[in-house]
Amino acid sequence: MPETTFLDATELVLNMGPQHPSTHGVLRVVLKLDGEKVLGTDCVIGYLHRGLEKVAENRTWVQFNPYVDRLDYVAAVSNSLAYCLAVEKLLNVEAPPRAQAVRVILTELNRIGSHLLWLGTHALDIGAITPVFYCFREREESIKILEKYCGARLTTHAFRIGGLPAEPYDGFQKDVLAFCEMFLPKVDEYEELLTNNRIWIGRLQNVGVLTAGECKEYGVTGPMLRAAGVKWDIRKALPYSGYDKYDFEIPTRTNGDTYDRYLVRIQEMRQSARIARQAAESLPDGPIMAKVSKVVKPPVGEAYVSIEAPKGELGFYVVSDGSAQPYRVRVRPPSFVNLQALDRMVRGALIADVVAVIGTLDIVLGEVDR
Amino acid sequence: MPDEPKPTTPAAPPAAPAPPKAAPPKPPAVMAWTPLESELATELKRQFGDRVVEASSYVGQSFFVVKRDEVISIIEYLKVEANFDYLVDITAVDWPKRVERFDLIYIVYSFALNERIRIKTTIPDGFRPESAVRVHRTANWLEREVFDMFGIEFAGHPDLRRILLPEEWQGHPLRKEYPLLQQDQDWVQTNLDIERGQ
Amino acid sequence: MMPALLKKILLGDLWEGLRVTFRNQNPKYIYTEQYPSQRPVVPERYRGAPRLRTDPATGKTLCNGCGACALACPEDLIVVGSERNPETKKKELVTYTFDLSRCMFCGLCQEACPTDAIVLTQGFELAMYSREGQIWDRQRLEEGLKPTVYKC
């Protein structure tokens, strides 16, 4: 009787290990393959787990603020905004209008920066090496504004509980308007490079389809939900920080495949530039900090506040026991919840599609693992 | 914050110690919630009676405290009848001084009504709540994380194992008795081949 | 119909992308900074190397030993040693230690300081050859960072 060798096996388990250029961080995906077709995946995460939620219980409310930047380190300002909004909700204060407008400007600039980094690395994974350079060139411009404002490029610590740390520097409005004007033709340039490119379309269309019902079932939010056809954006549904004053659209598409998500994010970049321009043109005067005591001691209670981060719904559930230290800070990370849908999206696809889908999920492991 | 009716159990923060002066000791601070008057609250109370213990609101956010065996049926009812089709988050809070030490919190959102509510329940250590996976698929990883960090096992979960920490790790870090700088020394020494992780 | 087919055969969409690339080959778009001969211009508010400031007129340190920076630091890496001066009855600074290896450059110390003594300057060349070199004492903090000047 002939012996069966490994060549007779139909199922192969392949490890796309934590050190892999296409997994956008330390993500390990164990693939079960039949030839090159994927039968199932199992994500192993936790390589970047730093225990931020435990650290929060051992620092004061104000001291935890710099740690929050390290969650989604690509768009650090959004995390800071969500945390400050959550603590302000507990304290029942609202930042003054000038602070809200500057917060909106910086968050939108960061959203542009995050989508630019996403576009560059996603294109790089697919094989298009050029967009990375142009995207990082523009990201550099947005980071320069942040650097001039708060002093750091990546881990910005840009907001404080109750408002802003300092007045915007002289020339802030001019810089933001110049950036918005410079940026819009560049988006057209990226579209020229990629949107009609037959290789791009071939690699991305009908890959990783996630319908609207599946998105809601898996709790997927952000551009992925909008590409599936659900016109939902927290900035419009539950507005925060003065977003209801600005006029912008929510781009949606219908198919819910990777190509649609690309188009949605490109449109979002344009809308973000539009919001930033409106906010910079109409920057109100006034104080930059609400009446918050130096030692922040919210009354006993809890609150859940979420914002529309570039990756999806980023929420902070904060529990206070009346002291200066948080009792519990829970981060609801968009990338963690979106990553669950990976298994659903790559059933029956090829390995190259797994790479495309991980790219389109736009995960940042800092957020997934905390 | 107390989730049972106020008169019976004090809140977890320790009561102020009796000061040396003659002033009476201050009662422990509690969350200043207000009762919730809304359609949803009346509907839920009508449907589930006394299994919904409280319907309240704090800083404008509404939450319902329910009995621990009824959580999944309430979440299912909310999804099917009241259109709360998006499970935002599942998390837990540890109050070690209480008998029922964990607060289990489910946050759900309805796209149609644009409303977000919290369902809270309290469970003692060792209790195995029912898993929400059959109602919302999002609950899969969220419950794995609660198990990993707190040690709360969910009955009926298809694949309950640790997600953020290695599989063989001992201990549940977000419990209050786990020190901040502690690590599972055995795991670190066998797997990383170093004395300590720090 | 025909122009579309022709465009497809002659790779029209690929040339569209290549046009962008060729346009960007113009030497005026070179962004590379020639470091270290050209040091980058760092903005004023940059949170870099810490510095313990002294009063330029008298040369005495601005720090009054209050320890607010040590309390504010999330990482607890500042150690302030002070003693009470028997003549003026005020606290005076004796030793000040700052552990740069654990610092996250958040700026909470400079916000907490009542006399603006500890500031985070624009120095970013903080690489050292040893771990102990990252623990700065008072004298090193008052001197500040002196990056090497290269003649290229």
Residue of A46, A51, A315 lying closest to B163 (CB–CB): A46
Min Cα distance A49 → chain B (Å) is 6
Q: How far is CA C142 from the centre of its chain?
A: 16
Residue of A217, A303, A306 lying closest to B136 (CB–CB): A217
Share of chain B above pLDDT 70, in %: 82
Share of chain B above pLDDT 90, in %: 7
Summarised one tens digit per residue, pLDDT across range B133-155 is 888 888 999 999 999 999 889 98
Summarised one tens digit per residue, pLDDT across range A138-182 is 898 889 998 999 888 888 888 999 889 888 888 899 999 999 999
Confidence of residue C136 (pLDDT cuts 50, 70, 90): confident
Min Cα distance C112 → chain A (Å) is 10
Question: How many beta-carbon contacts under 8 Å exist across A and B?
Answer: 109
Answer whether A186 touches C (CB < 8 Å): no
Which of the residues C104, C116, C120, C121 would you substitute to probe the A interface, choosing the one with the greatest number of A C-beta atoms within 10 Å? C104
Whether residue A257 has pLDDT greater than 80: yes
Whether residue B28 has pLDDT greater than 70: no
Across the interface, whether the CB atoms of A301 and B111 are under 8 A apart is answered: no
| Across B60-73, average pLDDT | 86
Summarised one tens digit per residue, pLDDT across range B67-98 is 888 888 888 888 888 888 889 999 999 888 88
Whether residue B6 has pLDDT greater than 60: no
Across the interface, whether the CB atoms of C72 and A157 are under 8 A apart is answered: no
Residue type, C67: G
Answer whether A182 touches C (CB < 8 Å): no
Confidence of residue C123 (pLDDT cuts 50, 70, 90): confident
Q: Are A292 and A162 in contact (CB under 8 A)?
A: yes
Whether residue A7 has pLDDT greater than 70: no
Whether residue B29 has pLDDT greater than 70: no
Min Cα distance C40 → chain A (Å) is 12
Q: By CB neighbour count within 10 A (0-12 exposed, 13-18 middle, 19+ buried), where does A207 fall?
A: buried
| Across A311-333, average pLDDT | 90
pLDDT, position A24: 78
Residue of C16, C19, C104 lying closest to A66 (CB–CB): C104
Name the range with the highest mean pLDDT among A12-26, A105-119, B175-189: A105-119
Mean per-residue pLDDT over chain B, rounded = 79
Residue with tokens 């998500």: A261
User: Count of alpha carbons within 13 Å of B37, Cβ hemisphere only?
Assistant: 0
Confidence of residue C116 (pLDDT cuts 50, 70, 90): confident
Report the alpha-carbon distance of residue A132 to residue B165 in Å, rounded.
Answer: 33
Name the architecture of domain A48-338. Orthogonal Bundle (1.10)
Residue of B32, B89, B141 lying closest to A301 (CB–CB): B32
Confidence of residue A4 (pLDDT cuts 50, 70, 90): low
Which of the residues C46, C119, C120 would you substitute to probe the A interface, choosing the one with the greatest number of A C-beta atoms within 10 Å? C46
Confidence of residue B17 (pLDDT cuts 50, 70, 90): very low
Whether residue B180 has pLDDT greater than 90: no
Across the interface, whether the CB atoms of A237 and B164 are under 8 A apart is answered: no
Across the interface, whether the CB atoms of C107 and A194 are under 8 A apart is answered: no
Q: Dump strand ranges (E) for chain A.
A: 12-16, 28-34, 37-44, 301-309, 312-320, 328-332
pLDDT, position B7: 41
Report the alpha-carbon distance of residue C27 to residue A109 in Å, rounded.
Answer: 28
Residue of C13, C73, C105 lying closest to A152 (CB–CB): C105
pLDDT, position A6: 64
Q: Closest residue of B to A58, CA-based?
A: B180
Across the interface, whether the CB atoms of C19 and A63 are under 8 A apart is answered: no
- Mention every residue, 6+ apart, whose C-beta is less than 8 A from residue B79: B85, B108, B135, B136
- The ipTM value here is 0.87
Answer whether B180 touches A (CB < 8 Å): yes
Chains touching C (at least 3 CB pairs under 8 A) are A
Report the alpha-carbon distance of residue A343 to residue A286 in Å, rounded.
Answer: 50
Whether residue B16 has pLDDT greater than 60: no
Q: Closest residue of A to B108, CA-based?
A: A219
Name the architecture of domain B34-160. 2-Layer Sandwich (3.30)
Q: Which residues of B touch A30 (CB under 8 A)?
A: none
Confidence of residue B27 (pLDDT cuts 50, 70, 90): low
Residue of C24, C45, C47 lying closest to A148 (CB–CB): C45
Q: Which helix (H) or strand (E) holds B94?
A: strand B86-94
Across the interface, whether the CB atoms of B149 and A330 are under 8 A apart is answered: no
Predicted TM-score (pTM) of the model is: 0.89
Q: Please name every residue paired with A329 in a beta bridge, in sequence order, or none if there are none.
A: A318
- Enumerate residues 95 to 154 of chain B having a beta carbon within 8 A of any beta carbon in chain A: 105, 107, 111, 114, 116, 118, 136-138, 140-142, 145, 149
| Across A27-34, average pLDDT | 88
Q: Closest residue of B to A44, CA-based?
A: B163
Q: Are strands A28-34 and A12-16 parallel, antiparallel or unpaired?
A: antiparallel
Q: Which residues of B touch A328 (CB under 8 A)?
A: 93-94
pLDDT, position B18: 42
Pick the range with the lowest mean pLDDT from A152-166, A244-258, A284-298, B44-58: B44-58
Across the interface, whether the CB atoms of A147 and C106 are under 8 A apart is answered: no
Spell out a b/e string for C69-102, using b for 16 or more CB atoms within 10 Å of the CB, else e. Answer: bbebbbbebbebebeeeeeeeebebeebbbbbee
Token representation of residue A294:
């130096």
pLDDT, position C1: 62
Whether residue B52 has pLDDT greater than 80: no
Domain residue ranges of chain A, discontinuous segments joined by +: 48-338
Share of chain A above pLDDT 90, in %: 29
Q: Where in chain B is the domain with CATH 3.30.460.80?
A: 34-160
Domains contained in chain C, CATH given: 50-143 (3.30.70.3270)
Answer whether A355 touches C (CB < 8 Å): no
Residue type, A216: K
Q: Which residues of A touch C73 (CB under 8 A)?
A: 63
Min Cα distance A204 → chain C (Å) is 16
Q: Which residues of A touch C20 (CB under 8 A)?
A: 130, 189, 192-193
Q: Which residues of A touch C17 (CB under 8 A)?
A: 130, 192-194, 197
pLDDT, position B13: 44
The radius of gyration computed from the CA coordinates of chain B, to the nearest angstrom, equals: 20
Min Cα distance A301 → chain B (Å) is 5
Whether residue A112 has pLDDT greater than 90: yes
Min Cα distance A167 → chain C (Å) is 11
Q: What SS3 state is found at A53? A: helix
Answer whether B85 touches A (CB < 8 Å): yes
Report the alpha-carbon distance of residue A353 to residue A336 in Å, rounded.
Answer: 20
Across the interface, whether the CB atoms of C47 and A151 are under 8 A apart is answered: yes
Q: Which residues of A touch C43 (CB under 8 A)?
A: 147-148, 151, 169
Summarised one tens digit per residue, pLDDT across range A42-61 is 888 988 888 888 888 888 99
Answer whether B188 touches A (CB < 8 Å): no
Token representation of residue C15:
């040339």
pLDDT, position B48: 78
Min Cα distance B190 → chain A (Å) is 17
Q: Closest residue of A to C120, CA-based?
A: A151
From residue A203, alpha-carbon distances to A354, B55, C4 in Å are: 11, 51, 21
From residue A318, alpha-carbon distances to A56, A64, A152, B121, C142 in Å are: 10, 12, 27, 17, 40
| Across C40-54, average pLDDT | 87
Cα of first residue to Cα of last residue in chain C, in angstroms, is 60
